[in-house]
A and B are shown apart, each in its own frame.
Chain A
Amino acid sequence: MAEVHIRKVVKKYDEVLAVRGIDLDIRDHEFVVLVGPSGCGKTTTLRMIAGLEDITDGEIAIGGDVVNDVPPKDRDIAMVFQNYALYPHMTVHENMSFGLRLKKFPKDEINRRVDEAARILDITELLDRKPKQLSGGQRQRVAMGRAIVRNPKVFLFDEPLSNLDAKLRVQMRIEIKKVHQKVRTTTVYVTHDQVEAMTLADRVVVMNHGVIEQVGTPTELYHNPRTRFVAGFIGSPAMNFISCNLQEEGGQLKLRVNNDLSLPVPPARAGKYMQHKGNGSVLLGLRPEHLTEARSQLEPGVVAFDANLDVTEPMGMETLVYFPINGETICGRVNPSAGAKDGAPLKMAADLNQMHLIDPKSGLVL
């Protein structure tokens, strides 16, 4: 169990900068998820923590010790790979105990640890099987078991669920969370799936183009994204961005979307945004769940408008509706009983209390 500190870490492949000087402090027992699109540097960061990649510049410390020049085996870490990387010629028991046997642990200690890990992961009856006799989910468990028996300072997960089908992925996600609740080892987890990131993490680290965009708890990132990238990356379906002008109309701060639609900024937000008025075009960020069907009584800050639905997607508990604003397709979530139909008009309501305003030039949330 240990903290991990990443200080101004840079990774350069030939002339390409994969990681551009990131800082990150991971607390003891914490479950941190690195998330971002492919090529954002998240896996490279993880591999640098593991010691599988050299660090070009900066330093990484595990448990207070700088490990830049420490080989992987002496870093006291365990890693779970995307393709499991189980040793095909060994049984599950041998796979899990390989690291301990190399370190010359006594036999009964090895057996005790393997049995305990197998119990935690519910794979006791698989211990004598070879990897090729296991299903994808079982292999994933064995890979985790191999990490658990080592009792390392840090667990590293490299997209461990990407090779599983959708249903199994949800199941294993819960398993991983349960395991972390039991063993409480500091964990760094890499994924490109923001749902995985949100559901597993104590804190999520959103990366893009080799830099950290934002670090925070899932709720923080969801409700207070700091950049347009984070706002658009976290949440499914993704946040809508509507280009508009912030201007004063009749003594009130309003968002002028087009000639027909002008949305008044709620008074609580007006003070914050006042300084940005007249700066030209801004982006209004609104999540689909804040674009719902209009009820007869509108709460303060909620604005009704008419929308012509292009497509509707009934999901059962809700219906996703898509309609155009200024040529962009906007997504809303309405009650299944609201009567949304393909090609039909619907009275929608935008909850501007939940709005975000983004400067399109800097990409920062105002």
Chain B
Amino acid sequence: MTAATATPDKTTEIRMKYGSMSNDRKWALRWSYFFLVLFAIFFLTPPIYMLITSLKTSQEISAITNPWWVFNPTLDNYRELLTSNSYLTFFLNSSIVTISVVIITMLISVPAAFALSRMRFWGSTVLGMGVFLTYLIPETLLFIPLFKMMAVFNEWTGIALINRWWVLLILYPTLTVPFTTWIMIGYFASIPKELDEAALIDGATWLQTLTKIFIPVALPGLIAAMIFTFTVSWAQFLYPLAFTTSESQLVLPVGIITTLIKGDVFNWGQIMTGALLGAAPPLIIYAFLMDYYIAGLTAGATKG
């Protein structure tokens, strides 16, 4: 009798407890969704506004209508931009600069990270620390001394570096190399020591160990570093603004504002279109390689 009454009590008790746990979870989920939606709205509003504005004519943009609605959609802005020589030049310059910077950065930072993480040599820890510290200095502090250096270099050698698009190939790596080296050090550190020892015994040189073992094993980290470099180079604004001036030498972010803002006349439709089109390449790359990017960043963060 007692047993019979006790049993259902117990089950209800257990069920209630279970119920409260899932209640907890429900609330946690509600809060997560609330903040996620908030963040999504916050970050998606500008691009959506850009998209809306890019589909409007100049008259509609300056007219007093609802700015969140397109009454007479048009693709004129896109047509004009994609047929204008200067925009295509900017796009081409940006592409060349970015791809070259990605290659240069990888060529420097991967061997550097390998050396700093694996080849114990005098001062390697100090150097590793130094690499990280250089990343902490903002470019806003660096561009004036860098400009001066280029000017002095010009005086001494007669080689003009300023107002040439390829000067960016020297400047951007000062931003990208420290960080990618840091990511790769963390990633290489997570590779067990025995793996390079096995390769060493198998007869691999340091270079072969790097190319045949480390790079393939650390590929997710490498891709993360490449995406980072790509994003930084593609979006870089200050250096090209300071170092390049001729229209033929400009990259996309600077080109858009210098050619589409004439005095106090803002060609908003084309500015928005240009920015939107400029955002497309990183977007496409992220969409395809996002998983690698996250895997690479977290590995560097926790095991580095």
Q: A residues engaging B (CB < 8 A)?
A: 50-52, 71-73, 77-79, 81-83, 85, 87-89, 98-99, 102-103, 146, 150
Contact = CB atoms under 8 A, between A and B. Distances in A.
Given A87-B213, A99-B201, 8 more contacts: A52-B201, A73-B200, A73-B202, A79-B198, A81-B194, A83-B194, A87-B199, A99-B202
A79 B192 CA distance: 15
A98 B204 CA distance: 9
A215 B271 CA distance: 83
A118 to B, nearest CB: 17
A146 B203 CA distance: 12
B208 interface: yes
Contacts of B194: 81-83, 85
B217 A87 contact: yes
Interface string B196-235: 0111111110001000110011010000000000000000
B195 interface: yes
A79 B203 contact: no
A325 B203 CA distance: 58
Interface centre among B195, B202, B208, B213 (most CB of A within 10 A): B202
Contact of B201 (A78, A82, A87): A78
Given A73-B204, A99-B202, A89 B217 contact: yes
Contacts of A81: 194, 197-198
B203 A85 contact: no
Contact of B203 (A83, A87, A89, A102): A102
Nearest to B205: A73
Given A85-B192, A89-B217, A102 B201 contact: no
A79 B199 CA distance: 10
Nearest to A77: B201
A127 B100 CA distance: 40
Contacts of B203: 73, 99, 102-103
B197 A52 contact: yes
Interface residues of B, number: 17
B145 to A, nearest CB: 41
Contacts of A78: 201
Given A73-B200, A85-B195, A102 B208 contact: yes
Contacts of B199: 87, 98
A50 B201 contact: yes
Contacts of A99: 201-203
A328 B200 CA distance: 50
19 contacts: A52-B200, A72-B201, A73-B200, A81-B197, A81-B198, A83-B192, A85-B192, A85-B194, A85-B195, A85-B198, A87-B213, A87-B217, A88-B217, A98-B212, A99-B201, A99-B202, A102-B202, A146-B198, A150-B202
A363 B34 CA distance: 73
Contacts of B192: 83, 85
A132 to B, nearest CB: 12
Interface of B: 192, 194-195, 197-204, 208, 212-213, 216-217, 219
Contacts of A51: 201
Nearest to A74: B203
A79 B197 contact: yes
A174 B1 CA distance: 62
A217 B207 CA distance: 43
Nearest to A103: B203
Contacts of A52: 197, 200-201
A96 B202 CA distance: 10
A83 B198 CA distance: 11
Contacts of A150: 202
Nearest to A84: B194
Contacts of B202: 73, 98-99, 102, 146, 150
A77 B200 CA distance: 11
B211 to A, nearest CB: 12
Give the one of B201, B203, B213 with max A CB within 10 A.
Answer: B201
Nearest to A99: B202
A298 B230 CA distance: 88
A78 to B, nearest CB: 7
B125 to A, nearest CB: 15
B217 A79 contact: no
A162 to B, nearest CB: 13
B219 to A, nearest CB: 8
A143 to B, nearest CB: 8
Nearest to B196: A85
Nearest to A88: B217
Nearest to A90: B216
A152 B188 CA distance: 29
A33 to B, nearest CB: 20
Contacts of B197: 50, 52, 72, 79, 81, 85
Contacts of B219: 89
A87 B216 CA distance: 10
A67 B110 CA distance: 32
A153 to B, nearest CB: 12
A220 B216 CA distance: 49
A331 B170 CA distance: 76
Nearest to B197: A52
B277 to A, nearest CB: 37
A102 to B, nearest CB: 5
A150 B198 CA distance: 12
B207 to A, nearest CB: 12
Q: Which 4 A-B pairs have the closest CB atoms?
A: A85-B194, A99-B202, A73-B203, A85-B198
Contacts of A102: 202-204, 208
B216 to A, nearest CB: 4
